[in-house]
Chain A
Amino acid sequence: MSQQVKVPSVGESITEVTISNWLKKDGDVVKLDEVIAELESDKATFELPAPQAGVLKISKQKGETVPIGTVICEIQGDGKPAEVQPAAQESKPKPAAPAAGSALAKATGAVKEMKVPAVGESITEVTISTWLKKDGDLVKLDEVIAEVESDKATFELPAEATGILRIVAKEKTTLPIGGLICKIEVMEGAGEGSVASAASASTAASVGDANYAAGHPSPAAAKMLDEKGIPASQVSGTGPGGRITKEDAMKTQPAAPEPKTAAATTTAATTGAPAQGSKGERREKMTSLRKTIARRLVAVKNETAMLTTFNEVDMKPVMDLRSKYKESFKEKYGVGLGFMSFFTKAVCAALKEFPAVNASIDKDEVIYHDYCDISIAVSTPRGLVVPVIRNAETLTFAQIESEVVRLATRGRDGKLSIEEMTGGTFSITNGGVFGSMLSTPIINPPQSAILGMHNIVERPVVKNGEIVVRPIMYLALSYDHRIVDGRESVSFLVRVKEMLEDPGRLILGV
């Protein structure tokens, strides 16, 4: 028997990959799970293992860029006759009694539990949008059995084993990452040529360990979750068998909507510009990720009364302070003194004075936060992420700087947890690192305001009646006018400016 090897779905926003290298040559004998090729997407490089043993027949060459799902090679069976195949093809196993007396489809007794895969770093849950297979159906390995939707994208769910599908999560149910979607009662020898018994055997060995009680909240946890308005299905339990303990419930925060600042990420055009002078144009299907971003950005614009106020900061005092203490700060704390700590401290102090800027709207109520959880936009190779500095108001400059470094490093390594990226009360974004002079950032609901930092440019300014050259940064504060009044937002930004222009105020709280 032979099996066609397709480019697997490697991530929701990845539509195509480039074959960067074939590690095996055409005609080579390959073993099961042996890496045969390296593929490259715009986000990562990954290895392609052989789904079965046999002789490799390459159909797409090194350097070719192919969409997900393309057949790039075929692995021909290792000479053993495919005795069951013809019969299997003509008799469609009946879902009701698939194993009954059928030599073709033999239940192995193993059950493969399929859980929601981690589909993206900021995605905490997915919704089963459509089951393409019914409960009790016979499904084949890698066959698409359901369509699953996250708040960012829709993707297809391939069967992780061949066997009888036992649906656990019904359509329209929302599951957390790791939540149990369905079980497959693994069967051997069923279906068409694509199923190697070796594959079922290997899946049988990796049966999941979550049990029937996974996600079951303890009585106290159930009450707490209900009060927070969090469905138990969104919490991953740490108790025995995945049970949700009271501690799990205490730690869980309602999922914050995806930070809108993520929209700043642009998906670069993947191919080169058309030749000069030509009138060529291309139409590309919008990825679901892009569509979701588009929809949500418009939603913020539509559903909030957002506007932006500006001010300018003379950065000289901060820069002076910084150059003066740079060395000793670094020596003492092991972390560089950057601008973020100044901005974060100034923001926290100003938030205390203008609580509405730190508040959020929940239906007919305004939630005021007594703490400042500051979301900071961090640019990473995988896109923009927005981790949160918790209780920034209690942190020292050094603690803020090391937290920024820690979060940025984790972001760059793709290690940020969902929890680290949810629940901020105010955001800071720095378009200045890309050279932006001035912009109007979009708020990150349910937050009510976002501070935009920009580049520092030497400008002529008038001080004491004289024109002097000063390092100036423009600041932008976008805010939701529904709960933040103009007076508050403008005063807030003025306070931030004052404290940055006279950092002594930060110490004295004046």
Chain B
Amino acid sequence: MQYNVTVIGSGPGGYVAAIRCAQLGFKTSIIEKYDTLGGTCLNVGCIPSKALLDSSEHFINAKEHFKEHGIDIPDPKVNLSQMIRRKGEVVKANVDGIAFLMKKNKIDVYKGVGSFVDKNTIKITSGDGKETTITSEKVIIATGSKPTALPFAPFDKKRIISSTETLELKEIPKHLIVVGGGVIGMELGSVYARLGAKVSVVEFLDSLIPTMDGTLGKELMKVTKKLGMEFYLGHKVTSVENKGKEVLLKAEPKSGGQPIELKGDYCLVSVGRRPYTEGLGLDKVGIETVKGQIPVDDHLRTKVENIYAIGDVVRGAMLAHKAEEEGVMVAEQLAGQKPHINYLLIPGVVYTWPEVASVGYTEEQLKGAGRAYKTGSFPYKALGRARASMDLDGLVKILADKTTDEILGIHIIGARAADMIAAGVTAMEFRASAEDIARTSHAHPTYMEAVKEACLAATGNRAIHI
């Protein structure tokens, strides 16, 4: 078959790129190695983890907070297999949705491993070894990423596990050791902490979610400690061993001092993800990866003029929504349009409870750049809405330019932060000042009022409700 555009990989970058291409009138195909479409995000990432996060949050509410709300129920128990089954249904509904969208947009779906023969020819090898060859004028590589293992402790998928296995556990761990206090470690760690596991997080750096603003990591540690999570920050893991029924982790403080040993039944290694390009046949088209990534220019074009790459295989944050934007951008470029992506304004979210969400510069970045800035904060506990729901943990922090008042960063930890950040991103796309938001009416009572109050605080230290 002959196509205008072929997308390799059907994650949120790939399938969105394919749909946009089809919308723009290109004859489009998409190649997926796995049985279901949707990639990591839908199958073993964002969606299933949110399903479990919500279930476990319901559980902990029932267990800990219903009573205070005036709901008396007998001690709730976790039915893990039902939780996992429901998660599976959520995933299935979503991936079926993608299959429907492919059909609706008349996109040909090829199941199998796509591999370049030359820059316009791709061979697809399906699971049963059958080979199909297609040609395509343009190719978009969207093969995503895989969890990174520790060099000395490869995933055995039994005791030493990645996020994928952690979403499929048959039992609630008694003690889950998490290596890496980033987004994945904190989300999955908190799932099992809520369900009753002891969770210990070992992080090499000195803060949790270290790429985000320092305030957020500190706050997140405070609130997750309440769940019973333990933290070993600034610790370098030296070994992880599967001892059959348990796993033994050894680590030592970076700054010197006593090494520690942790024994648990599972060790989730969430130290990051690496771009995935195996089997793609990049050598056939002369593309070489750099640190695993496919080098691309500002237009996401590789060194081969008809081949583009998007999402986790290229530079930038490994986020579904970043990949989506890139997919749209490449598709529109192919149609002669000139879309933009403002990478500074790709928000980052952590689905712990309370949620963490952030966009723009962190305070550390502004300090490092010597930029004159001002801050305004507002705590959830001063918010009527948060009182009503008893979600009192968290705060909003606004960073704004000292002279122009332009918002430079928005950092939220608190209930529903993930949804709130969108308003902040919009404001920043229009280069709003803190006062602009402060003078924008916010419905009462809402969590968003915390953003308005923090903007008032940043504008002239004139928050009303504190």
Q: List the one stretch of B21-29, B37-45, B337-345 in contact with chain A.
A: B337-345
Which residue of B has the minimal Cβ distance to A111?
Answer: B403
Which residue of B has the minimal Cβ distance to A216?
Answer: B431
**B203 at the binding interface (Cβ < 8 Å):** no
Chain A contact residue count (CB 8 A cutoff): 13
Q: How many B residues touch the partner, as a band?
A: 10 to 19
A202-239, CB under 8 A of B: which get 1 and which 0?
A: 00000000011100101100110011000000000001
Cα-based distance from A226 to B336 in the complex (angstroms): 11
Known pairs A211-B404, A212-B401, A212-B406; A218 contacts B339 (CB<8 A): no
B421-435, CB under 8 A of A: which get 1 and which 0?
A: 000000001111100
Which residues of A (230-274) have their CB < 8 Å from a CB of B? 239-240, 243
A223 / chain B contacts, CB cutoff of 8 Å: 337-340
Q: For the complex, would chain B's binding face be called helix, strand, loop or mixed by DSSP majority?
A: loop
Cα-based distance from A222 to B433 in the complex (angstroms): 19
B436 / chain A contacts, CB cutoff of 8 Å: 240
Cα-based distance from A213 to B401 in the complex (angstroms): 12
Cα-based distance from A216 to B427 in the complex (angstroms): 13
Which residues of B (408-458) have their CB < 8 Å from a CB of A? 429-433, 436
Which residue of A has the minimal Cβ distance to B339?
Answer: A223
Contact A227 B430 (CB under 8 A): no
Shortest B249–chain A CB gap in Å is: 46
Which residues of B (384-402) have their CB < 8 Å from a CB of A? 401
Which residue of B has the minimal Cβ distance to A226?
Answer: B338
B337 / chain A contacts, CB cutoff of 8 Å: 223, 227
Cα-based distance from A385 to B340 in the complex (angstroms): 38
Contact A227 B406 (CB under 8 A): no
Cα-based distance from A219 to B336 in the complex (angstroms): 17
Which residue of A has the minimal Cβ distance to B404?
Answer: A212
Contact A219 B404 (CB under 8 A): no
B429 / chain A contacts, CB cutoff of 8 Å: 218-219
Shortest B318–chain A CB gap in Å is: 23
Known pairs A213-B406, A240-B436; A219 contacts B342 (CB<8 A): yes
Cα-based distance from A219 to B343 in the complex (angstroms): 12
Shortest A210–chain B CB gap in Å is: 11
Which residue of A has the minimal Cβ distance to B341?
Answer: A219
Q: Which of A212, A213, A222 is B340 in contact with, Cβ under 8 Å? A: A222
B321-362, CB under 8 A of A: which get 1 and which 0?
A: 000000000000000111110100000000000000000000
Shortest B436–chain A CB gap in Å is: 7
Q: Which of A212, A226, A227 is B431 in contact with, Cβ under 8 Å? A: A212
Contact B401 A219 (CB under 8 A): no
B432 / chain A contacts, CB cutoff of 8 Å: 213
Most buried by A among B336, B337, B431, B436: B431
Nearest first, the 5 closest Cβ-Cβ pairs linking A and B are: A226-B338, A212-B404, A213-B431, A227-B338, A216-B431
Q: Provide a sorted-by-A list of 16 A–B residue pairs whose CB atoms are within 8 angstroms.
A: A211-B404, A211-B433, A212-B431, A213-B430, A213-B432, A213-B433, A216-B431, A218-B429, A222-B340, A223-B337, A223-B340, A226-B340, A239-B430, A240-B436, A243-B430, A243-B431
